[in-house]
Structure 1
Amino acid sequence: MRKPKINKCLYSLFIIGMAMLAPAILAAKPNANELVLVAAPVTKDPSMASIVPFTLTERELQQRELFAEFVELIETQRGLDAEDMVQKLAALDGYPLRSYAEKYWLLLSLSVESEAQMEAFLAANDNSPVARNVRKRWLQLLQDENQDELYVEYYQPQLSAELDCHYLQLTYNEEQELREFDQLVAPLWLVEYSQPKACDPIFKRWKASGLQTSDRVLARFKLASRAGNLRLAQFLGRSIAPEQKYLQSLWRDARRRPLRLTAANKFPGKYVAEEAEVFTYAMNRLAWSEPHRVISALDNTADRLSLSDDQLNKIVQTVALSLAVDQHPDAETWLQKAYQQQADPEILRWQVATAIRQQQWQQTIAMIAAAEPSHANDLSYQYWQGRSWQQLEAPEKAHDSFSIVAAQRHYYGFLASAQIQQVPRLNHREPRIDSVLQQALIQDPAIRRAHELFVQQRFAEARREWRFALREASDDVRMQAALLAHDWQWYDQAIALFTQLGYFDDVLRRFPIASNTAIQPLAQEYQIDPAWAFAITRRESSFMSDAVSGVGARGLMQVMPATARFIQQQPVRYSTLLEPQANVALGIQYLRYLMEKVDDNTLLATASYNAGWRRVLEWLPEQEAVDADIWIESIPYRETRNYVKAVLAYKYIYQLQLGQQSDLFEQLQIMQLQPRTTLATEAQ
């Protein structure tokens, strides 16, 4: 199976008056390998409740409504009366978001004549998140209006590459030391993507100064080629030194037609190190579709290219993984070869997965015993040792292995507990409330702004203020901030902080029953287990309603626009996908659709939500049924494999949280997945 491509998102300017969406899902989404889970429901200790975060006066409540009205006017109306708007601004004096209201009004009427207001605004709000976008828009205007002196006066670095380049152009001095000039320009030029046209003049001067060397051109050409930016690579190719031109063709083939580079005569041996690099890149790409062609190329070409040990090991590893994913008979040999060359944990994981898939239980035990201790101590291998002893009819040894794993808060702990019919340990532990630290937090102006922006559903701006407030905070302070965020029902930021702090014991706050998502009634309507819907949502977005992924999935359940269109049988506006109830309704309807495609098998439907149901059916066994835990361990995509493990564990936790009697892992241990032919026929 092949690695999915990751699309790059172009940096875009914010639009006046619209909620500014930040695809910062990774900040709130748990790490892909995070499976450290609590295995029991508990009742929240009333003595552990956070202090009341904010008590607003009647005037402050009125100001909250006035702010919302003010913003709505700016976003929806034309020809606003300036005097009236200034009066409305004055009515917001003392309100935490007064500066944001001023920002929106200032940007709406921005002109060079606004300098006095701009100077006052930036002076009052400098170094705070609200000022960054304003300064950026102001500099863009000054650039367009050729206000060079003002531009230099107001410039700050790293607002955008375009603004940085324009500043360098304005301040360039012929007598400037080349070393200093190079330090400023080289990082802007040596990137894998095209920079704005505003950078062209300064790049030309940099090149004229002799700083755009052939080696640098080749380095950027390789960056662009690896990123698939072939248009930029082609442009850069014009500047490659004549004697290196053939490398341009090699990199183009490596990206588009790597099979061509299996021929030894493609490499003349002029620049051996460069040829070895492009060959390694090409073979690692080709190995996922034509592993045996790569094996032949290694035999015919590797010695001639003088591959380094690291390059050779990388190719061997990729070949081994490709064969293992495809369940090829040669996989075992190549996995062993790869692990002997370099003890890589992913290779060991596939060695074990291949052995258990072939029911080589004695070999599984021996393989884990011979592995590097730092690898073999992983909970997954302790679980598979137990399963191996179980299959070898050594129940005492199996029980000993399972008991060790069952004591842990983990997916494998849940599996092991089911194997020995043991209730998972109750390890829920709430952090202590520190009222002094919490009181200090809620008095912080940035925290107050973050809270009000959250209440106003301006989530991207709220997150910027939140992170700004906590940028230098101690772990103790961040823990109290996590508790406050949870009490505000700002679940994604609470979960993010718990994850960053490595605090996994608070099951109630890490796996909240988010009543503001309408998951339970919608799940009931579409006959979906609400615990499963909660688990999917928790894994997809950590309840960040405005989450946008790099590939365009949106909202709480990360629904793709194409999926929404398919479910609704008509186009769905992107903004609709960010509405919590609409997003959850679409996500749950899609879960129902997937269940119908996979014969109501929640395990397969979970994998399908991540990888697509047709691909999941291809992963089913061809002839004989396979145990569910073995099938999960053999899922070809690492992302989907970790996703399924996490969602199953999350679902178990949510079942307990919702008061359900759960036998999820007991059922999983006896489940067998049937050959693909039967299910594939039913899914048509």
Structure 2
Amino acid sequence: GAGALSGLGPRRGSVGTELALGRALLKGTSTQPAEGEKRLLGLSRHWPTSPEAAEAARLLSERPGPAALALLAQLPPALRQTAPVQARQAFEGERAWREVLARWPVDPASWDLSWELARQRLLKREWAQAAAILKVLSPDRLPTPLAVRQLFWLGFAEQRLGQEEQARYHWRQLLQRSPWGYYGWRAVVRLGEERPPLRLKADPQAAPLAPSVWQPLGSGQPRLDRLWRLDQPLEAWEEWRHQRGSRTPMAPAPLIVEGRLRQGVGDDWMGLAQLEQAQLRWIGARCPVALPLERSLHPVRHGATFAGAAAAAGLDPTLLLAVAKQESRFTAGVASPAGAIGLLQVMPATAAELAGAPVSEDQLRQPELNAELGARYLALLLRQWQGNPFLTIASYNAGPGAVQGWRNPTLELEPELWVEAIPYPETRLYAKKVLGNLWSYQQLSVRGC
């Protein structure tokens, strides 16, 4: 952002340049976010009917704090009438939220508005108000991850209102759509059907970690599918690239094909990202149609490495898979801005403490050592928190010191609500993602739909 800005100076670039620059500056420090807002406002005024202007309005609508309303008021009139802007105004109480949801029921801005309003009411234990919000949008018109979230919390609120039969009905509806992930796990717990229970520690009765099951590509293109079937993923990838050129897939079906092809050539970093995008754009997908995608989203990578490290630390190997999927998407060379490195994103200082000696960054990029040290740290946290999965996983992300300050009676009786009250948005999402990964890995090995 800063480099591009210094090269461009006060001059206005192309609409695409202005959008990219504004987006980058919003993530910067010091005065850069303010400069990014200025650039995006300028873009919206100079090219008000362009797709880039609509995206600029969306980015501005996501700015933190009530001050964002002043930015939105400076947009051209047509852009002030778009779903993201109207949704933000509704969230801040400047317009009726029901009108926004009714006008844009299939816009992601409405989906986010519905959830944020419901979450506010849930945390305040305003069960009737939360249920009323959650009933407005039909789950049939939502992507599966959002539909199951809605159904879980609707059931949760109904149970608190004494509507046990309705609560169980909605949790059953959830499981028919997707028995996997965080909300699949919490639904079976609430229904009293968690069999077998979620495993974090090693269990001698559990089946050993098995490699990923081969699945047909299902692209609908005979030559492409044949190359995949003949175990020629690189040739299949080149065929796909030749067909599509530089076009970026947007719809769920091509996203799934491209994501799986990337996985086939060893690019889990981009492949898993595209599969997750597909899942969030696939409206109305239900089990068993979504089962192949769910399996592709939970590949077994570095299986022998994770199995050995888990056994040495007394952990279930799927716990290491679940953490690695979220931390690095199984990419051994990745490093975070904070300095965490490798498959399980181990900090050098933590690694040195666990190893009893300094550990170099190059060493942390080695899957075997990274898995060993990450497993040791997870085992330490698991012992510290006496096997509690929520505290253990939250601590791996935020640190045990922060998590200690979040402990309260809600954790025991309503752990789902405890997670939603975590003050760090990153940790809140992280806990749900990792625990959902863990449940999916364990369930996909023993059950289908």
Q: TM-score, normalised by structure 2?
A: 0.61
Farther off after superposition, 614-623 or 591-600? 614-623
8 A contact 1:335–1:351 mirrored in 2: no
Match of residue 419 from structure 1 = 190
Whether 1:471 aligns to 2:241 is yes
Contact residue 390 and residue 431 of structure 2 kept, 8 A: yes
Matched letter for residue 390 of structure 2:
L
1:341-380 to 2 correspondence within 5 Å?
A: 342-343=100-101, 344-371=110-137, 374=141, 378-380=147-149
CA distance in 1, matches of 2:315, 2:391: 14
1:146-225 alignment, distance < 5 Å: 192-194=4-6, 214-215=11-12, 223=22
Q: Does 1:648 align with 2:418?
A: no
Residues 1:228 and 2:228 aligned together: no
Total equivalences in the alignment: 377
CA offset digits 1:394-414 (Å, max 9, x no partner): 232222212211212243233
Distance 1:319 1:566, change over 3 A: farther
Equivalent-residue separation in structure 1 for 2:343 and 2:418 (angstroms)? 28
Residue 410 of structure 2 contacts residue 418 of structure 2 at CA under 8 Å; is this kept in 1?
A: no
1:582 counterpart residue number: 369
Q: For residue 417 of structure 1, what is the amino acid of its counterpart?
A: V
Contact 1:533–1:588 (8 Å) recurs in 2: yes
Q: Secondary structure at the match of 1:559?
A: coil
Contact map agreement 2:344 2:370 (CA 8 A) in 1: yes
Q: Distance in 2 between matches of 1:619 and 1:308?
A: 44
Q: Which has the higher contact order (CA 8 A, sep 6+)?
A: 1
Gaps of 5+ in 2: 38-44, 47-52, 102-109, 196-211, 245-252, 280-288
Distance (whole Å) between structure 2 residues aligned to residue 484 and residue 220 of structure 1: 30
Give the whole-Å Cα distance in 2 for the aligned partners of 1:624 and 1:480: 40
Distance (whole Å) between structure 1 residues aligned to residue 112 and residue 153 of structure 2? 16
Q: Which amino acid aligns with 1:353?
A: R
Name the counterpart of 2:359: 572
After TM superposition, the structure 1 = structure 2 runs for residues 673-684 of structure 1, keeping only pairs within 5 Å, are none
2:160 equivalent to 1:391: yes
Aligned with residue 339 of structure 1, among 90, 93, 97: 97
- 2:393 and 2:434 in contact (8 A); partners too: yes
Q: 1:192/1:622 Cα in 2 relative to 1: closer, same or farther (>3 Å)?
A: farther
Q: 1:499, 1:595 → 2: CA distance? A: 31
Q: Structure 2 vs 1, CA of residues 593 and 309 (structure 1 numbering), >3 Å: closer, same or farther?
A: farther
Residue 346 of structure 2 contacts residue 373 of structure 2 at CA under 8 Å; is this kept in 1? yes
Structure 1 stretches lacking a partner, 5+ long: 1-7, 9-189, 196-202, 204-211, 231-250, 259-272, 322-333, 451-464, 662-684
Bigger drift between 626-635 and 431-440 goes to 431-440
CA–CA distance in 2 between the matches of 1:372 and 1:433?
31
Residue 524 in structure 1 maps to residue 324 in structure 2: no
Query: How far off is 1:628 after superposition?
Result: 0.7
Q: Paired residue for 1:499?
A: 275
Match of 1:173 in 2: none
C-alpha RMSD of the superposition: 5.6
Q: Secondary structure at the match of 1:407?
A: helix
**Secondary structure of the equivalent of 2:417?**
helix
Confirm or deny: 8 A CA contact 1:541 1:558 kept in the other structure.
yes
**Alpha-carbon deviation of 1:381?**
1.6
SS of residue paired to 2:177: coil
Change (3 A) 1:473 1:558: farther
SS of the residue aligned with 1:367?
helix
Structure 2 distance, partners of 1:372, 1:481, is: 28
Q: 3-state SS of the aligned residue for 2:188? A: helix
Question: What amino acid does structure 2 have at the position aligned with 1:228?
Answer: G
SS of the counterpart of 1:604? helix
Does residue 603 (structure 1) correspond to residue 390 (structure 2)? The answer is: yes
Give the superposition deviation at 1:536: 1.0
**8 A contact 2:60–2:72 mirrored in 1:** no
Contact 2:217 2:228 in 1 (8 A): no
Tell whether the 8 Å contact from 2:363 to 2:369 is kept in structure 1 after alignment: yes
Q: Does the 8 Å contact 1:518/1:581 carry over to 2? A: yes
Cα distance in structure 2, aligned partners of 1:650 and 1:567: 26
Structure (1 or 2) with the larger CA radius of gyration: 1
Q: Which residue number in structure 2 is paired with residue 138 of structure 1?
A: none
1:583 Cα deviation (Å)?
0.9
**CA distance in 1: counterparts of 2:131 and 2:441, whole angstroms:** 34
- 1:539 and 2:299 correspond: no
Q: 1:571 to 1:335 in 2, by over 3 A?
A: farther
Q: Secondary structure at the match of 1:528?
A: coil
Counterpart mapping for 1:127-146 below 5 A: none
Q: Distance in 1 between matches of 2:388 and 2:326?
A: 19
> Match for 2:415: what amino acid?
A
Instruction: State the alpha-carbon separation in 2 of the partners of residues 578 and 214 from structure 1.
Output: 43
Q: Deviations over 1:405-426 (max 9, x none)?
A: 12122432332233334579xx
SS in 2 for 1:471: helix
The CA deviation string for residues 321-358 of structure 1, in whole angstroms up to 9 with x for no partner, is 8xxxxxxxxxxxx4685736854322321221222223
CA contact (8 A) 1:523 1:530 kept: yes
State the identity %.
22
Per-residue Cα deviation, 1:421-469 (whole angstroms, up to 9, x for no partner)? 4579xxx99745899867746999xx69x6xxxxxxxxxxxxxx98545
Any idea what the Cα deviations from partners look like across 1:32-87, whole Å, max 9, x if unmatched? xxxxxxxxxxxxxxxxxxxxxxxxxxxxxxxxxxxxxxxxxxxxxxxxxxxxxxxx
Distance in 1, Cα, partners of 2:405 & 2:79? 33
- Partner SS, residue 439 of structure 2: helix
Give the Å deviation of 1:389.
2.3
Q: CA deviation at 1:627?
A: 0.6
* Contact kept in structure 2, 1:604 and 1:616, CA below 8 Å: yes
Structure 2 CA distance, aligned partners of 1:433 and 1:281?
35
